[in-house]
Chain A
Amino acid sequence: MLGLENIWLVPILPLIGAIVNGLFGKFMSKSSVTLWAVGSTGLSFFIAVIAFLNLLSLDARDRVFEKILFTWIQAGSFTAQAGIQIDPLSAIFLLIVTGVGFLIHVYSIGYMSHEEGYARYFAYLNLFMFSMLLLILGNNFLLMFIGWEGVGLCSYLLIGYYYEKDSASNAGKKAFVMNRIGDFGFLLAIMWIFWTFGSIDYTTVFPSASQVLPAGGFAVTGITLLLFLGATGKSAQIPLYTWLPDAMEGPTPVSALIHAATMVTAGVYMVTRCNALFNLAPTSMIVVALIGAATALFAATMGLYQNDIKRVLAYSTVSQLGYMFLACGVGAYVAAVFHVMTHAFFKACLFLGSGSVIHGMSGEQDMRQMGGLKSKMPITHMTMLISALAISGIPIFAGFFSKDEILLSAFLGHTKGNLVYWILATVAAAVTAFYMFRLYYMTFSGELRAEDQHVRDHVHESPNVMTVPLIILAFGAAFAGFLGLPIIEGGHALNNFLGPVFHTPGAPEHPHASLGLELFLMGFSVSVAVLGILVARHFYYVRPEAATEMAAKGGFIKTVYTTLQNKYYIDEIYDVVIVKPVVSFSRSFLWKIFDVKIVDGFVNSIASFVTDLSSLLRKSQTGMVRNYALAMALGGVFFVGLWILALGN
């Protein structure tokens, strides 16, 4: 059990890398910075794999390994042991974080090679790895909270990495503040948990949850809702999601690692980790599922309008996270974790692909300037196509299996209103396929639309150090789904592996559907996705060409092609009736009003209330000693009066 015994090395190694690069990075050569940063992450990935194999070799019931490192806080009856706990759930996350993290470190070598502050970047990135691993491996809520704060901090540092950009540092600030609102909920939940259980260790809290807390009671509902508030902040769910699209100001590998594959899934980890609590609170489950489904659809429709390639992906991430919470909400925790895993592959690949595109386009992020990159960047094109197919849910690609499982669970789930969630999620699937292929066609097909000659001349495929991680991730995006083949009985490897973690009292029965129903639902979701892709193809691939052809042939041929023109009218009608409203709804309501006015407005109005109060109270500070003395005297009178009238018996 060499891996399990040394599991504490997994977070420590990146920490060492962070310290070395943070303190001495300035004085070291680029290659030794790289060695420390990438080497430490690679080594920790290696240990994680060994630990995972160790865990697999154990009997399914014994797959919980806890190692207490030291007593962190010992205060009266309250004890917090700093320790590492690994079970199937954390093992899966561990592999995702170290694996994807390692690949993104490698990719960053190429991507960041021309940037200043190379060592600083890697120090932050390693620090992020440390915090994230702490979050996953911690054996109690407080350690999870520390990791939770740590990843938030690193995310903040990395978003603001280009600190000379004003928008970047504002975005960093926004992310930080929004996350604090969520953290406030999380911290209250931890205190409440301590208050009721007298402990914050997982091993104490979860097994006794069903005895201590009455199912559906006020306490468990409150705790879980507060926990979920924390999750909405970190995982960018309604109403705390607006920071994530803004967070795209950071370097692209950061977006891939933090804002797609790992940190934002911390909320999902937290909810699945606390499944014992959530199972006892049906009301909270409804809230989780509803917020998840609503976010999935809202964010997807918001992705329709964006022209910045990274913002499309950002909204897509928010939407996919919504799917994961939907899965949690209907009790399909395995499906949620499964989707975390497949999403890590395809979304990291999409982000890195977009990074490769941006790199090739000399920093251009606007898709209207792109086009025709298929031949110039073949590897990037191929990997992004695979990932786009995966996220759209086309069979054999990873996203298909996980999304299908979520849709199936929503359809069959016990949580109230499950059909509504299913409808929302299915519509979202169609929209997802549409905007993803809009992105694909705008970027890779047609002609290069960039006006800047310099940019046009410099379009090139990225170096190997960037494309190899892309290929590996695309491989995962293509095949990782087979871990969760839904049809073969007993063959759902992931379910068997993760199952014991979620066998807690009150856990919903795993829904069983007839094969026919399963196949029907699967067929339905696939056809919805294909429809989305075809519509996108029509509008961004087929039609633009038709339009240019017609323009080329001039006035005479126009009359010849009347029928075709008629077809064009149909397109127009279709466009006016369906696409335009949806797009304008997305732009005018969802983005301009809901996002900017309501969500930001709410946050802003709290802030302005506090500042108004502040300036009011500030007036009391006159600078006059006599006024101060008067305040003291009045205070004295107040307290004497209070004591005599109300307290003294």
Chain B
Amino acid sequence: MASIPVPDISLGAIAPEITLALTAVVALMLEVFAEKKGRDHIAYISLVGVIVACFITFRLAGDPSWTTFSGLYVVDRFGQFFKLICLLGTGMTILVSVKYNKDEGIDNGEYYALLLFATSGMLFMVSGSDMITIFMGLEVMSISLYALAGYTRKRARSNEASVKYFILGSLSTAFLLYGIALIYGSTGSTQIDIIAKAVSSGSGVEAVLDLGIVMLMIGFAFKVSAVPFHMWTPDVYQGAPTPVTAFMSAGPKAAAFAAFFRVFNVAFPSLQADWWVIIWILAVATMTVGNVIALLQNDVKRMLAYSSIAHAGYILVGFVAGGALGSSAIMYYMLVYTFMNIGAFAIVTVVGRKGEEKTKFSDFTGLGYRYPLMAVALVIFLFSLAGIPPTAGFVGKFYIFMAALKHGYVYLAVIGVVNSVISIFYYLRLSVMMYMQDEPGEDLPPLVFAPSLIAVMIVAIYGSLWLGIMPAGYISFAQSAFLAL
């Protein structure tokens, strides 16, 4: 009997994912075996796992890119860049969660295990060179997120968020899977470079392929919360525990964008002349709807949810622009966005207090006097989100709009600039709120700043400011990451 050939397997390539999964298993075991005190350390053990994964990702040789697992998985600098963004988001989220979980009485083990499983899913998604890998990663990520969104079980709003996310997420998964199936039916493969060959040679069945591409696009558009597939975002972001919201708004979005970008630019570059129109429409609708609705929000979490929709729109602008400039602009923006957005959410967890009852705009009045440093930090994050120089958000936006202009999408860039002007108003509103004298109301105990939270804020401030003042290094990193795609 002939032995069955063993597929080419390079475990080194997926070492970051393995590290995360193992750390998650350790977290689970600690949850059931360790004493109360030991369980408090789970957060830090998870953090160590994330840092080790970061380190391994950094050291992997991704240039030139190489594939393993018989073409299911690719190691390249594009993927590495996005993986680092995802890991950064996870690391910051873990630090934000430490104090929050203690206050809310959340079981640590499962929580961090889910975070880590979700992250390993993202990493698979980012590096998948086959629709199946991408789909697997996406599902691992999504299912963990459904559970995380409803993690504060006693809170009705959290449950609502979880169920809504699950139902709509399943719908979008159906779209995605249907798209993959149709594309497979047309081209005979799920591997993106083989699909590319089939598509460009025109050997596929065209109508089936077209439908498949649009379905696929809808599936990804849901994950990056592009209008009109964004409806879940405000409800889920508002209902989910704030650290989870922070997590969802950064890493999973980056991973979804990475997969979206990779699939469309590797598998269907020959149809770019057609699909950019759809992405263009998505980008404009997403920016505009996100920003305009955000104007009237009274809840900070919900405002940040709409703001994150709007930011997805800006990133889609970079997507439309495409090419080396557009893609490195996306990467840079996603990196900056991770810093500033998690920073902003970190402050919301503190100001929100126990049970997240204080997340209204009015709850932020007067913070400028009582907690000047925290207020300054939040102002930096908000200004960065608004794109006011010299913050990183400005460089990111400038870079994206520049890429759009460079490739001739003038209207898109102008719409983007108009939108970023609109966005100033609601970010500014919150900043001004903090510097208004607050009404003499109930006496609240002082806010508590845990060391872990201060660490997050320092990292976030570094990212939001330093990347604006000295962005050259990161931009050239993003550039080189693209060139390897």
> Which of A's residues lie within 8 Å of B, judged by CB?
70-76, 78, 142, 145-146, 149-150, 153, 160, 163-164, 169, 172-173, 176-177, 180-181, 183-184, 187-188, 191, 194-195, 607, 610-611, 613-615, 617-618, 620-621, 623, 625, 627-629, 631-632, 634-636, 639-640, 642-644, 646-649
Contact = CB atoms under 8 A, between A and B. Distances in A.
Nearest to A75: B475
Interface in B231-247: 231-232, 234-235
Interface in B184-228: 206-207, 210-211, 213-215, 217-218, 222, 228
A153 B390 CA distance: 11
B437 A163 contact: yes
Interface in B289-342: 289, 292-296, 324-325, 328-329
A636 B390 contact: no
Contact of B405 (A146, A194, A634, A649): A194
A323 B414 CA distance: 32
A187 to B, nearest CB: 6
Interface string B403-423: 001100010011001100110
Nearest to B175: A636
A647 B277 contact: yes
Contact of A628 (B231, B274, B398, B475): B231
Given A74-B476, A617-B293, A640-B214, A187 B231 contact: no
Given A191-B402, A628-B231, A642-B277, A621 B293 contact: yes
B468 to A, nearest CB: 9
Contact of B388 (A153, A173, A618): A153
Contacts of B361: none
Contacts of A649: 274
A74 B437 CA distance: 44
Contacts of B278: 639, 642-643, 647
B276 to A, nearest CB: 10
Contacts of A183: 421
Contacts of B476: 74-75
Among A70, A642, A643, chain B packs the most CB atoms within 10 A around the CB of A643
Interface in B436-485: 436-437, 470-472, 475-476, 479
B406 A164 contact: no
A627 B235 CA distance: 13
Contacts of A176: 428
9 shortest interchain CB distances as A-B pairs: A628-B231, A635-B228, A146-B389, A647-B274, A614-B295, A614-B296, A648-B210, A149-B389, A614-B292
Interface stretch (B82-90, B107-115, B163-171): B163-171
Instruction: Say what secondary structure dominates the interface of chain A.
Output: helix
B58 interface: no
Given A191-B401, A194-B405, A184 B168 contact: no
Given A75-B399, A191-B402, A631 B292 contact: no
Contact of A150 (B163, B390, B413, B421): B390
Among A71, A74, A146, A636, chain B packs the most CB atoms within 10 A around the CB of A636
A163 B389 CA distance: 24
Given A73-B395, A74-B472, A195-B405, A177 B218 contact: no
12 contacts: A71-B472, A74-B472, A74-B479, A169-B432, A169-B436, A177-B424, A188-B414, A610-B292, A611-B295, A625-B163, A635-B228, A648-B207
Contacts of B388: 149, 153
A181 B425 CA distance: 12
Contacts of A160: 435
Interface in B363-416: 368, 388-390, 394-395, 398-399, 401-402, 405-406, 410, 413-414
B44 interface: no
B300 to A, nearest CB: 16
A262 B470 CA distance: 27
B172 interface: yes
Given A145-B389, A621-B293, 4 more contacts: A73-B395, A180-B421, A181-B421, A648-B207
B72 to A, nearest CB: 28
B99 to A, nearest CB: 25
Contacts of B436: 163, 169
Contacts of A164: 437
B229 interface: yes
Q: Chain B contact residues (Cβ within 8 angstroms of A): what range?
A: 35 or more
B228 A632 contact: yes
A613 B229 CA distance: 19
A121 B355 CA distance: 38
A172 B214 CA distance: 48
Contacts of B395: 73
Contact of B292 (A75, A163, A613, A625): A613
A632 B222 contact: yes
A7 to B, nearest CB: 19
Contacts of A78: 325, 402, 406
Interface string B53-72: 00000000000000000000
Interface in B243-275: 274-275
Given A625-B164, A643-B214, A70 B472 contact: yes
Nearest to B323: A76
Contacts of B475: 73-75
Among A72, A142, A150, A628, chain B packs the most CB atoms within 10 A around the CB of A628
Nearest to B421: A184
Given A74-B472, A164-B437, A648 B206 contact: yes
A184 B416 CA distance: 11
Contact of B274 (A74, A194, A648): A648
B304 to A, nearest CB: 15
Nearest to B160: A623
A129 B432 CA distance: 23
A635 B168 CA distance: 14
A648 B218 CA distance: 17
A76 B479 contact: yes
Contacts of B210: 643-644, 648
A73 B399 contact: yes
Given A150-B389, A169-B436, A642-B278, A184 B296 contact: no
Contacts of B417: 184, 187-188, 191
A163 B472 contact: no
Contacts of B414: 188
A615 B295 CA distance: 9
A73 B471 contact: yes
B435 A73 contact: no
Given A70-B470, A74-B476, A160-B435, A177 B390 contact: no
Given A628-B168, A629-B167, A640-B214, A173 B432 contact: yes
Given A184-B417, A628-B231, A635-B228, A614 B293 contact: yes
Among A71, A160, A163, A625, chain B packs the most CB atoms within 10 A around the CB of A625
Given A611-B295, A636-B175, A643-B274, A617 B289 contact: yes
A153 B376 CA distance: 13
A149 B389 CA distance: 7
B428 to A, nearest CB: 7
Contacts of A648: 206-207, 210, 274
Contacts of A644: 207, 210-211
A639 B437 contact: no
A180 B296 contact: no
A617 B231 CA distance: 11
Contacts of A647: 274-275, 277-278
A632 B214 contact: no
Nearest to A152: B388
A77 to B, nearest CB: 8
B325 A621 contact: no
Interface string B142-165: 000000000000000000000110
B261 to A, nearest CB: 17
A194 to B, nearest CB: 6
Nearest to B295: A614
B419 to A, nearest CB: 11
Nearest to A76: B325
